[in-house]
């Protein structure tokens, strides 16, 4: 047993951890553990700094059987791009589940959060999208919009994509960049066209007004909503959740408080006893996934502490195997 602490920088973590099948498997196992039960995961602690258009979230989860758990601090200051800074930042610490001693401090500036969020989107698509889904639709043009398209390619043969953004110039730039990067046609379009055309839609914005409406949903579509991680954020119109043949969430109690599910319940579009399945239950084999090829499926992901524990533990192991980090 070592008393030293590993300090890992963003650059070191970027070299050790990426969007690949190995990292996806680590996140999938964490969701399965959540689905099986026994995970200790307290509600998110959030601090709002309204006058700065900012927020800070603190997440954690203990997974029985794992040697460590993560404590993650994540910030979102959404005016940062005006200053030439990314909107998201943060750090993670890894703590021994046996002694409570800090084992690692990961100065990732939000990188690991970005990765685990993209991998959750891939996991949702893997379990819920049609096997032959090939057209991706992305709402948003930021970093997560880029990572989500990349992550989708881990689980489906995406041969075309459409993107919408509030800033048309950014949407056009995104389309050109992603088309060149992946060698597939990517085009900018209005939100309705994106949703009506795509097989898989991923929403990646901090929007406070709906971007996706029930009348746009079509047979065979899967939608993953990533952006609603606070009570006032809302990307999916409440009626759209009622329209889904299968409604999936990462954690029901959490989504009832701050996800798209929260808005649908508050608006009366869904009754409190509406059938909702947790993604972890599907991953663990305790609940079925997509009902059939014509079904409309919708997954509400608000981000869970169990994902942070999974990615932090995975990153620590990868970094150690590669000799990365500084021990103090």
List the structure tokens of 33: 């553990």
pLDDT digits (tens, 9 = 90+) for 62-77: 999 999 999 999 998 9
72 catalytic residue (yes or no): yes
List the structure tokens of 72: 């993650």
Catalytic-role residue among 52, 59, 72, 318: 72
pLDDT band with cut points at 50, 70 and 90 for residue 3 = confident
Average pLDDT in the chain: 96
Res 88: pLDDT: 86
pLDDT band with cut points at 50, 70 and 90 for residue 2 = low
pLDDT digits (tens, 9 = 90+) for 232-267: 899 999 999 999 999 999 999 999 998 999 999 999
Query: What does the alpha-carbon distance between residue 326 and residue 4 come to, in Å, rounded to a whole number?
Result: 10
Residue 10 has pLDDT above 70, yes or no: yes
Res 250: pLDDT: 97
pLDDT digits (tens, 9 = 90+) for 84-114: 998 889 999 999 999 999 999 999 999 999 9
């Amino acid at each position: 047993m070592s008393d030293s602490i590993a300090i890992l920088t963003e650059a070191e973590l970027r070299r050790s951890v990426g969007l690949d099948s190995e990292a996806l498997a680590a996140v999938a196992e964490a969701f399965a553990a959540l689905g099986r039960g026994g995970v200790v995961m307290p509600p998110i602690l959030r601090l709002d700094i309204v006058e700065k258009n900012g927020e800070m979230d603190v997440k954690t989860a203990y997974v029985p059987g794992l040697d460590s758990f993560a404590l993650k601090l994540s910030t979102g200051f959404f005016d940062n791009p005006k200053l030439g800074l990314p909107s998201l930042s943060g750090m993670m610490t890894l703590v021994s589940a046996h002694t409570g001693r800090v084992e690692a401090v990961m100065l990732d500036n939000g990188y690991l959060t970005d990765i685990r969020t993209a991998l959750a989107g891939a996991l949702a698509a893997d379990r819920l999208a049609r096997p032959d889904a090939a057209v991706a639709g992305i709402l948003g043009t930021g970093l997560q919009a880029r990572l989500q398209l990349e992550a989708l390619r881990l689980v489906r043969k995406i041969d075309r994509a459409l993107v919408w953004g509030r800033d048309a110039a950014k949407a056009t730039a995104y389309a050109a960049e992603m088309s060149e990067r992946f060698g597939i046609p990517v085009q900018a379009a209005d939100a309705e066209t994106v949703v009506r055309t795509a097989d898989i839609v991923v929403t990646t914005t901090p929007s406070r007004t709906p971007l996706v409406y029930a009348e746009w949903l079509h047979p065979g579509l899967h939608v993953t909503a990533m952006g609603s991680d606070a009570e006032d954020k809302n990307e999916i119109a409440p009626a759209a959740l009622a329209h889904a043949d299968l409604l999936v969430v990462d954690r029901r109690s959490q989504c009832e408080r701050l996800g798209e599910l929260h808005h649908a319940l508050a608006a009366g579009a869904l009754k409190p006893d509406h059938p909702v399945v947790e993604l972890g239950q599907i991953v663990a084999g305790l609940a079925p996934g997509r009902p059939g090829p014509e079904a409309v499926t919708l997954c509400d992901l608000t981000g869970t502490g169990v994902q942070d524990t999974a990615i932090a533990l995975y990153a620590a192991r990868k970094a150690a195997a590669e000799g990365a980090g500084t021990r103090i």
